Amino acid sequence: LSVAVRHTDDPVAGLAGGGSPNGTGSSDSLVIRRAAAPGHGTDPRIPAHLLDGYRETVRRAEASGDARMARIAEHFAALDTATSMTSTDYTARRITG
Say if 88 falls within a structural domain: no
> Alpha-carbon distance 38 to 17, whole Å?
21
Q: Using DSSP bridges, classify how beta strands 3-7 and 30-34 pair: parallel, antiparallel or unpaired.
A: parallel
Owning domain of residue 42: 3-80
> Alpha-carbon distance 72 to 43, whole Å?
34
| pLDDT average, residue stretch 7-36 | 81
Say if 67 falls within a structural domain: yes
> Alpha-carbon distance 80 to 74, whole Å?
10
Say if 97 falls within a structural domain: no
State pLDDT tens for residues 35-85. Answer: 998 888 777 888 899 999 999 999 999 999 999 999 999 988 988 998 998
